[in-house]
Structure 1
Amino acid sequence: MGDKHYPDGILLGRARVPGHDHPRIVTVRNGELVDITTRGLATVRDIAESGNAAQHVRDAAGVSLGSVDSALANSVAANTDVSKPSLLSPIDLQAIKASGVTFVVSLLERVIEEQARGDKARADALRGDITGLIGTDLSELVPGSETAMKVKAALIERGVWSQYLEVGIGPDAEIFTKGQPMSSVGYGAEVGLHPVSSWNNPEPEVALVVTSSGQIIGATLGNDVNLRDVEGRSALLLGKAKDNNASASLGPFIRLFDGEFTLETVKQSEISLRVEGEDGFVLEGHSSMNQISRTPESLVAATIGGHHQYPDGLVLYLGTMFAPVKDRDGAGKGFTHKLGDVVSISTSELGTLSNRVNLSTICPPWTYGASHLLRDLAKADLL
């Protein structure tokens, strides 16, 4: 899982700290986890909405909670000692949203492979047809453009249109609710699979932190755990495929934008994925953010604006180009999770997010919601 799980920069997160009923707001300074919880800015939501989140986190007075590495080690579910600090998901009251089918090049390649059924010549012919319509490689196709509509017409003529292609190259992005505020899990926690699923996968993604005004102020890593068989049966089952106990993982920290780390940095990120199974199976892959077909700004605009407001802000998963196909239990059987898999998602800019896979019915139930947080903060005179 690498030697360093967190990056440099202005980091914002949440931690469970002994002696406190509510999550504490933390940052990282010189390898130390520092508690910066203060009255009036006792939630990540309030810091994000303050108008100067990066400056506040950089300058706030704080108390050391010990080394970050110790807190990270203590955040791994099997190792957690409740008498020591451990990390939580770095967001609290924000809505948890996600975008799908945002990498056209990987989507069209999967369509081509499906249609060709292993026939390389047929695949080359279909790819050539599409490339001829685009005039360049698939990664240059702009969703909703006149050229994209020509590709859509050509694919419909071939009988290969689908709901995924519609949101992949059509005018409207796929935006859905991944989970409810306070429901996400953080570094080291178990991530959950609904027990009805027998074909599922991790989705390694960057997630943007967006204020109620639509301003993008930072980013973190996310695992948009997905049930491929459930979603494959019907797009109307997307909620069941995506929103289950412990199915939204974020962390380890939010890295706030400053002079060195910006949205442009995010757009060039290389995301690495590693899955290590108790059966010795190892899966590795990567996703290049510079291959995304809809800009992060356009995905945010499709989520929040005059048509929809989020008074507590939101976090938006940006999608992935990675679809695991490595055979696990024999030729042609493809990939699916097994309980106990350790999923690690990494970028040099955002660190490493690691989680162990379990059933959503066995993962710790979600019992601490927005009402509990507000009551505890009021009791501590922090509101």
Structure 2
Amino acid sequence: MRYYRSAWGASGPQLLAVDGDTAYDLTAAKPSLDGFTDLARASDLTGTPVDDIARRLRDEAPIVDRELIDDGAPAAEPTEAAAADGNALVPVEAAEVWAAGVTYAISEQAREEESDMPQLYLDVYDAERPELFFKSTARRTVGPGEPIGIRGDSDWNVPEPELAVVLHRGEIVGYTIGNDVSSRDIEGENPLYLPQAKVYDRSCAIGPCVASTERIEDPHDLDLSMTIRRGGETVYDESTSTSELVRTCEELVSHLQTHNTLPETTVLLTGTSLVPDDEFTLQEGDVVSISIEGIGTLENPVCTV
């Protein structure tokens, strides 16, 4: 199943489960379940998969009109206004969002090209230890339809589309889509500037939902695409596959937890597989759409922060 947090209900955010073409309001059936973390907590306590818990609640859960849910389906001609119309919220409120770097060949090549110290990235790509860095907090993370930010002190800002792993108490409980927005010129000037290139207001988007591990049987073989529109025109449209990952999700999660106690709910971005040309930089008003097979489409307009 896929799990959304939606603002459509009058009483506050609702946890919705989408099974096939039908959406169920799990919060209406069980008011204590108002977010995916609550569902994951119940799964952990009972030893029952999240999808099985959701199935038990379906008979009591009202069916929700799918038109009331912004499930990430891309508009024919997205605009900033259209992207902000949906009801979907950040699907999981993670206290910490981490990210992996240099996990695809194209990412390693791009970071070599941007850096004055290219050998650093080649060494990491081939090393046993992956690059892992802190990316965002819940306050800095935005959801579907919310503007992602580009730094006003940077001239080279890019989106980075990534498969994201959702962890509960260190265990993989689902997958979502992440956008690791980055300032390439800041990082390229000096690798020690990486935190400033990566961590700032609205620098991370996740959504539109959390797809369960039952739904995503093999996260290492999913089609992934990204489209960027500017003024109604497509300025970027490319696709790839998570099969290009040189490390497994399990390997990255294992390294992340080594001597590092994680919060109850954590999201790990697994690295970027699509990199726009060096001449490209995001502009205010652009709309970025990232799609991953089995999960959906995460769409965000761009603003300057």
TM-score range, shorter chain: 0.7 to 0.9
Question: How big is the shift at 1:222?
Answer: 1.3
Query: How far does the alpha carbon of each residue in 1:192-211 deviate from its partner, in whole angstroms, 9 at most, with x for none?
Result: 11211110111111101112
1:78 aligned onto 2:69: no
The match for 2:209 is 253
Q: Distance in 1 between matches of 2:83 and 2:293?
A: 26
1:43 aligned onto 2:35: yes
**DSSP-derived class of the 1:87 partner:** coil
Q: Distance in 1 between matches of 2:295 and 2:183?
A: 26
The match for 2:288 is 343
Q: Distance in 2 between matches of 1:315 and 1:292?
A: 18
1:320 aligned onto 2:277: no
Q: Distance in 2 between matches of 1:287 and 1:238?
A: 26
1:28 aligned onto 2:29: no
Task: State the AA in 1 paired with 2:184.
Answer: R
The match for 2:260 is 308
Cα RMSD of the aligned pairs, angstroms, is 2.9
Structure 1 unpaired stretches of 5+? 1-9, 116-158, 326-332, 361-383
The match for 1:356 is 301
Percent identity (aligned): 30
**DSSP-derived class of the 2:174 partner:** strand
Q: Distance in 2 between matches of 1:184 and 1:201?
A: 16
Q: Distance in 2 between matches of 1:289 and 1:81?
A: 28
Query: How far does the alpha carbon of each residue in 1:342-380 deviate from its partner, in whole angstroms, 9 at most, with x for none?
Result: 1111123111111111113xxxxxxxxxxxxxxxxxxxx
Given that residues 74 and 80 in structure 1 are in contact (C-alpha distance below 8 angstroms), is that contact kept between their aligned partners in structure 2? no
Q: Which has the larger radius of gyration?
A: 1
Q: Distance in 1 between matches of 2:118 and 2:196?
A: 24
1:19 aligned onto 2:20: no
**CA pair 313-285 structure 1, distance change in 2 beyond 3 A:** same
**CA pair 62-342 structure 1, distance change in 2 beyond 3 A:** same
Q: Distance in 1 between matches of 2:292 and 2:118?
A: 34
Q: Distance in 2 between matches of 1:208 and 1:337?
A: 26
The match for 2:76 is none
The match for 2:127 is 170
Q: How does 1:233-248 map to 2 (within 5 A)?
A: 233-248=189-204
**DSSP-derived class of the 1:86 partner:** coil
Q: Distance in 2 between matches of 1:318 and 1:31?
A: 29
Given that residues 287 and 320 in structure 1 are in contact (C-alpha distance below 8 angstroms), is that contact kept between their aligned partners in structure 2? no
Q: Distance in 2 between matches of 1:345 and 1:234?
A: 29
Task: State the AA in 2 paired with 1:64.
Answer: I
TM-score by length of 2: 0.85
The match for 1:128 is none
Given that residues 151 and 304 in structure 2 are in contact (C-alpha distance below 8 angstroms), is that contact kept between their aligned partners in structure 1? yes
**CA pair 108-184 structure 1, distance change in 2 beyond 3 A:** closer
**CA pair 289-30 structure 1, distance change in 2 beyond 3 A:** closer
More strand by share: 2
Question: How big is the shift at 1:29?
Answer: 4.3
The match for 2:65 is 66
**CA pair 59-185 structure 1, distance change in 2 beyond 3 A:** farther
In the TM superposition, structure 1's runs of 4+ consecutive aligned residues that sit over 4 Å from their partners are: 73-77, 79-82, 107-115
Q: Distance in 2 between matches of 1:114 and 1:197?
A: 14
The match for 1:106 is 106
Q: Distance in 2 between matches of 1:164 and 1:102?
A: 10
The match for 1:271 is 224
Question: How big is the shift at 1:109?
Answer: 4.6
Structure 2 unpaired stretches of 5+? 74-78
Q: Distance in 1 between matches of 2:80 and 2:207?
A: 15
Given that residues 92 and 181 in structure 1 are in contact (C-alpha distance below 8 angstroms), is that contact kept between their aligned partners in structure 2? yes
Question: How big is the shift at 1:57?
Answer: 2.4
**DSSP-derived class of the 1:267 partner:** coil
